[in-house]
């Protein structure tokens, strides 16, 4: 082990071989840390936290903090983290409200700076949480989801696998798998770029696109669209989409038809002389 002399480590921890702990790190009671994990300076690993192998915990990250809730609760919750996860600067993940449950993080996830995962959340594998994203309590995020910067996710929401949440979005309903979300919980399209990058076949991508059109552009309500999907060509991906929607308690995100002008304005802002004059008249500078 390579442990800096200024680190404060409880004697009631279980540390595996080949770990590295930087200066001024704090590790409380009842913590388990797997092999090859590196903890950078000033990180805090709090009680009830179990961390798998080959993780990286960067400067100032706090893992296993008490849940941020007003009502009185047990302080003995748990945080269970898998393998090869990266927590960048000042990322925070809170333990569960009670010992009977746990905040769960899978494998190969990337948490960028200042991202936050609240109590009792459940995350799968290969998820990316970008800078400043805030995930409220009891949320569930499936494999390969991509959550962009400064996104907020309401408590108890579910984020489907291979979905992408655009920057600054506010998610208050369940996000179906494979979809692209922007703004106030609006579906814009399928996450075609993400599907190609994760090697979805052309046939499967075509099925997902057809399912998207049936759900959001056919004029059918959700129940009717699901019935049509169940009758049509099936694949594991379509079966998962159907199952996800059938088990939604908050309802799924609605569709928003986006005009060309709005797409340009949101994806690539254009500054013109006219825009600058307008901003000047309004006192921005």
Catalytic residues: 119-120, 137
d(CA 55, CA 37): 5
List of residues 6+ apart from 145 with CB closer than 8 A: 124, 127, 128, 159, 160, 161, 162, 163, 164, 165, 175
Q: Output phi, psi for 2, to 5 deg.
A: -120, 95
Q: Which of 167, 163, 160, 162 is nearest to 182 (CA)?
A: 167
d(CA 268, CA 247): 36
List of residues 6+ apart from 282 with CB closer than 8 A: none
Sort 199 into a burial class: Cβ within 10 Å, 0-12 / 13-18 / 19+. Answer: exposed
């Amino acid at each position: 082990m390579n442990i800096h002399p200024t680190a404060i480590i409880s004697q009631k921890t279980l540390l595996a071989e080949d770990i590295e702990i930087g200066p001024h790190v704090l590790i409380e009671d009842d913590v388990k840390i797997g092999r090859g994990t590196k903890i950078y300076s000033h990180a805090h690993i709090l009680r009830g936290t179990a961390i798998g192998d080959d993780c990286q915990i960067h400067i100032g990250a706090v893992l296993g903090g008490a849940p941020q809730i007003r009502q009185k609760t047990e302080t003995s919750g748990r945080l269970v983290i898998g393998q090869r996860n990266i927590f960048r600067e000042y990322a925070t993940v809170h333990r569960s409200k009670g010992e009977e449950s746990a905040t769960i993080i899978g494998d190969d996830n990337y948490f960028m700076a200042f991202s936050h995962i609240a109590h009792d959340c459940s995350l799968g594998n290969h998820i990316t949480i970008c800078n400043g994203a805030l995930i409220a309590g009891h949320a569930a995020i499936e494999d390969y989801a991509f959550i962009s910067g400064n996104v907020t996710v309401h408590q108890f929401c579910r984020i489907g696998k291979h979905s992408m949440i655009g920057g600054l979005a506010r998610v208050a309903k369940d996000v179906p798998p494979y979809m692209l979300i922007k703004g106030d919980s609006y579906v814009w399209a399928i996450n075609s770029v993400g599907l190609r990058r994760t090697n979805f076949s052309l046939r499967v991508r075509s099925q997902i696109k057809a399912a998207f059109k049936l759900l959001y552009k056919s004029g059918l309500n959700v129940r009717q669209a699901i019935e049509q999907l169940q009758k049509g060509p099936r694949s594991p991906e379509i079966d998962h989409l159907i199952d996800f929607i059938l088990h939604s308690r908050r309802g799924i995100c609605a569709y928003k038809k986006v005009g060309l002008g709005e797409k340009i304005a949101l994806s690539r802002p254009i500054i013109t002389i006219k825009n600058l004059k307008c901003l000047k008249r309004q006192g921005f500078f």
